[in-house]
Amino acid sequence: MEQHKSYHEQALQPQQWDYLEHPADRAAAAGADPEPDEPDADHESDQAGQWGLFGPSTVTWRVHSDPLIGLATLRALAMQVLHPEGMANVFATARRVDDPWDRLQWAQRHIGAVIFGNSIEAAMTGARLRAVMGQVGGFSGEGSEFRGDDEELVLWMHCCQVASFVEVTRRGGLTLSDAEHEAYLNEQLRTAAVWGLEPDRVPATRRDLTRYFRRMRPQLRMTHEARAFISSLISPAVPELLALTQRNRPSWAPVAGLAWSSLPNWARGMYSSVPGDGAGSLAPSAATVALHSLRDELHRNRH
């Protein structure tokens, strides 16, 4: 009966930060027969709604089953808070600025439900997110009023996630061709639709995504709240650190520092100083090497 539970009933525990569990892995662990490899079987499952928005044959499942997906989620948060109104959306699902771990777990649960859940779970997750963001409001730096579910703001949140997921996992050693990278971005139009975005407004190629971030950069700034949020990621309180790590895994602070070091150069350049030392001060080339090493270690602990 285990394989018939919903994704939310099998949601990640706080300790499972490193990857979003692949449904096929869960079925195998429960003693179920592995899924057939034939494309027709995948198609039939998709038609029946078993795989929801995606399926075993998609690049999305490969990316989101990677051990570095948790670190990529952290990197996405570090990008999102550079948008002042995006910071408000992050606050909406974090208890306080110096406690980002609830926000990380919240993001993992919701993203995982959309990626690995069935069609109903994906739709319900999107509705829940839109309801939360619809309650966020305030005034921008220019004095204009904004809502958390404004299309431009939701688009920013989505693009930070998509870019982080594929760039961190690929940079850390996940084998993806340029064509598969492009395919992932195109597949993520389905996720964008769940968040309430019009697909024709969402960057669906690497070129379009690069242009989007270039266009957004004048609107970004380093606020006190954003710096406090990033600093709390890199230097978490010890009780939280102990609760979120498992034996034989790298300590959380260096991993969080590596998430910051994996940011694009333009994002790192917005800081007047490095928010921390150790992994948080790695040069881009050294961060790439560290991502490879971390991914290898996580693979060993995972199997």
Domain boundaries, given as residue ranges, for the chain: 2-7+55-302
Q: Which two tokens stand for residue 254?
A: 């260096």
φ and ψ at residue 272, rounded to 5 degrees:
-75, -20
The average confidence (pLDDT) of the chain is 75
Are 138 and 145 within 8 A, CB to CB?
A: yes
The dihedral region occupied by 250, where left means phi > 0, alpha psi between -120 and 50, and beta the remainder, is: beta
Distance CA 250, CA 165 (A): 20
Calculate the alpha carbon distances from 262 to 96, 219, 258, 279, 295 in Å.
24, 21, 6, 10, 14
- For the segment 11-15, the average pLDDT, to the nearest whole number, is 34
Query: CA–CA separation, 118 vs 79, rounded Å?
Result: 29
Task: Round to whole Å and give the CA distance between 19 and 79.
Answer: 20
The rounded distance, in Å, linking the Cα atoms of 115 and 118 is 9
Q: Which of 303, 290, 301 is nearest to 71 (CA)?
A: 290
Tokens of 24: 């096929």
Scanning the structure block, which residue is given the tokens 């999107």? 126
Mean pLDDT within 89-118: 74
The pLDDT assigned to 36 comes to 38
Residue 231 near residue 275, CB atoms below 8 Å: yes
pLDDT at 51: 77
pLDDT at 28 over 80: no
Q: What is the pLDDT of residues 170-226, one digit of tens each?
A: 999 999 999 999 999 999 999 999 999 999 999 999 999 999 999 999 999 888 878
Backbone angles phi, psi at 138, to 5 degrees: 170, -160
Q: Are the C-beta atoms of 270 and 223 separated by less than 8 Å?
A: no
Q: What average pLDDT does the segment 17-26 reach?
A: 36
In DSSP terms, 87 is beta-bridged to none
Q: How confident is the model at residue 270 (pLDDT cuts 50, 70, 90)?
A: confident
